[in-house]
Every structure is written in structure tokens, then in C-alpha cells.
Amino acid sequence: MKIQVAHRQASPRTANLPSRARSTLKNLAIVALLGFASLAVLRANATECVPGTLSDYEKLGAQGCQIGDKTFSNFQYQQGVNGLAADKISITPGTIPQTDEPGLFFEAKWIASQNSFVSYNVEALPQGKAITGAGLEMKFGEVTGTGRATVVLDLCQLQDNADSCRAQKLSLKVGLSANGFNTPVDKGQFQQPQSAVRVITPIELTPGKAGSVSLDGFLSIVR
């Protein structure tokens, strides 16, 4: 048995994207800076987030970058067993049409990964909208036999972490498997709006004894 997901939606806006990004980011409004602005300039001015690798985003540190009315900062990556290197994972920032909700599209060619995760902070600007929820979408993946792919999005208040949220925690999960767990989209709401959150995104791919698995990308959205 082979199961595939290719979750796509129409998009009215793209800018300065390679052909593959145009085909995969059908539901993102890209906020890439014209002129191929470098991440070095971005770090100096704390301006809009631009496409780059996960290792580029790690270098932004506490200053981070902005998508709409939110700041994304303090990117950290644990490669885990069989995980990809940070410079092999690309990030494309953007906003969702009609809502202007900020999102990050993570793209790579995962074929195995255990105990790998990406974490980062999201904070509303002083005049920005509070964070009320989040969304997660698995964009492209395939499993056969006993293969299984899951991506989780855990959000806590900034001073907490996913293992010890003292107040509110929001946990979303998408995945593919041959035994019935096939959920390409998940979304949820906080009980109360948050001004800042810590996001942790575990990525798990296990082919099993008689199967295969691959994942090409996933999209995380802050609402």
C-alpha cells in the first residue's frame, strides 16, 4: 500500500521564488524582499524575514526577523538520529491570503528522522494582533508498508516549554501512515490570546521493517 499527500491551495501572490517554491507555496503570500536582500542585512536591521536555510535563521539569534506584525526569533535545531543538517532545510516566510496570518514553510527531503525538532519564539509587535491559535499543514509526503511520518507543533507561553507548560498549551499534529493516521491539516486555538509563544516542532519519520517514508515540506502558521 502506498499513501501520498499533496495538499495544495490556490495563491494569488508570489515574488522572487524558484519554480519549485512557486509550485509548493500555493497558499502563501511571499514577503521576500526584492533585490535578494541578504540575511546579514536582515540581522542588522531586524526587518522582514526572507527565504534562507534553517542555519541562516539560527544565526539571527534573539533579534530575529518579522513577518507582518509578528517577530520570529531564537531559532534552535536538534538534528536527532538520521536528521538532516540545518543547511539542508530551507525556510520560506510568508502570509496567508485573506487573513495575513504569518507562516513558515519548511522544505527539505526527509527520508528518516528521530528526535529531531525545530524551536523558535513568536512575539506580537506592540501594535500587532495577539496570538490566538496556530495551524499546521503537511504539504508533500509519501509512505509505503509500515512507514510513518508525523510533524507536531507545540506552542507554550514564552517562559515555558513543551514539557512543562504551566498555563496554556496548544498541540497540533499531522501525519501519514499505512494504518489509518492520515491527517494533512490541523489547527487549534488558545483559551486566551498570547502576546508571545515558544514553538517546538518535532519531526519523526520511521520506515519500519517493511516500508518507506518521505516528507518534502510542512507549513506552520501563527494566528
Using alpha carbons, select from 61, 117, 49, 112 the residue that is nearest to residue 86. Answer: 117
DSSP code, position 88: G
Where are the chain's structural domains?
A: 2-222
Among 147, 159, 170, 152, which residue's Cα sits nearest to residue 196?
159
C-alpha cell at 13: 501572490
Residue pLDDT, tens place only, 190-222: 999 999 999 999 999 998 888 889 999 999 999
What are the pLDDT digits (tens) for 11-62? Answer: 322 223 233 333 434 344 333 332 233 344 333 445 899 999 999 999 999 9
- From residue 164, give the alpha-carbon distance in Å to each of 46, 49, 80, 155, 168: 30, 29, 21, 11, 10
Q: Helix (H, G, I), strand (E, B), or coil: what is residue 22?
A: helix
φ, ψ of residue 22 to 5 degrees: the values are -60, -35
* Most confident option among 78-82, 177-181, 199-203: 199-203
